[in-house]
Copies of this chain bind each other. A is one copy, B any other.
Amino acid sequence: MTIRDIAARAGVTKGAVSFALNGQPGVSEATRTRILKVAKDLGWQPNSAARALSSSKSGAVGLILARPARTLGAEQFFMQLISGIEAELSKRPIALVLQVVPDLEAEVAAYTRWWSERRVDGALLTDLRVEDSRVGVLRELGIPAVVFGGPGHHDGLPGVWSDETTAMNAVVEHLVGLDHRRVARVAGRREFLHTHLRDQAFQAAVEQYDLLDGSTVYTDFSPAEGEAATRQLLSADPLPSAIIFDNDVMAVAGARTAAELGLQIPRDLSVVAWDDSILCQLTQPPLTAVSRDIEAYGAHGARALLELIEGAVPDIDVQDHAPSLVVRKSTAKARTRP
């Protein structure tokens, strides 16, 4: 079933069919209507390879996840992000090509191959690093790309980001409002930009509110390291009265660890998770968490990429909806200590 069949059936040339199908001028309204009807009757769909070859557009965008398979499964973030991206892409006949790779080197290799194969028209970048080698490669290759993260750390590539600073302030304010003075933090990987931004915001808040602690332990986001970091923080003297965790999995692991050490949450220790998820709601007590609409975040990024591919000059650093703090049962008044 090709435009050739349609042309024969409608008594016109292939060119006319193409114009009619693509809404281009060059055919009369009557002819166009006739051609469209024939195409519909025959159940015609454009061959994506032929269209890609002659238009130099693949009709697909790429997303690469460079995380070990275990942590990928554990974090709900990625699946929600993908859902959001898809929600936007599937409004058009644009496909999402997904690849899972072990490290950044493999990720860069995949972009390079995709681009020289012309397999995708653009790419979505996630897990932005403070120093991110991918950004330079993408710019050099000339792939239209949009970055999740930021702001201002991607060398001119457009990005969408959520405001970590405001969110961190809300968290610290909430804790200060509960009389907490010794607040610690279990962070993710140091090289990730969002970790870095939260670091800065946390340190600024520590000074602003004149907190007494402010120690931060870095991890790989895994529950094992979340547990180890919690043990480390809870061996300090005096103890922190609240800990902020960089993801839901570590927060749950940390809360469990604290309980094992004989602390009662929230009486003895307040716990805040970053990125709310079902996990935070299912644990006992349910965790106070920073909540973002990750699907909307993904959709937002996809939309920006599509605009970029279509030649628009998108805003650099579009800010997404601000995260909100969902207060549950894991935060309470700090105990007055001796």
Report A's interface with B, CB cutoff 8 A.
Answer: 1, 43-50, 52-53, 58-60, 69, 72-74, 76, 78-80, 82-84, 86-87, 90, 93, 95-101, 113, 116-119, 223, 249, 252-253, 256, 259, 277-279, 281-284, 294-295
> Within the complex, which residue of B101, B277, B282 is in contact with A73, where a contact is CB–CB below 8 Å?
B277
Contacts of A58 in B (CB 8 A): 48-49
User: CB distance B90 to A95 under 8 Å?
Assistant: no
User: CB distance A97 to B47 under 8 Å?
Assistant: no
CB<8 Å pairs between A and B, sample of 21: A44-B116, A46-B117, A47-B53, A47-B117, A48-B117, A49-B53, A50-B53, A52-B52, A72-B79, A73-B278, A74-B76, A74-B277, A79-B79, A82-B100, A86-B100, A223-B278, A256-B283, A256-B284, A279-B282, A283-B283, A284-B284
> Within the complex, which residue of B48, B249, B277, B279 is in contact with A119, where a contact is CB–CB below 8 Å?
B48
Least Cβ–Cβ distance between A54 and chain B, in angstroms: 9
- In the complex, which of the residues A48, A84, A279 has the most CB atoms of chain B within 10 Å of its own CB atom? A48
Separation of A277 and B69 alpha carbons in the complex (Å): 13
Chain A interface helix/strand/loop/mixed: helix
User: CB distance A98 to B98 under 8 Å?
Assistant: yes
Contacts of A283 in B (CB 8 A): 256, 282-283
Contacts of A76 in B (CB 8 A): 73-74
* Closest B residue to A57 using CB positions: B49
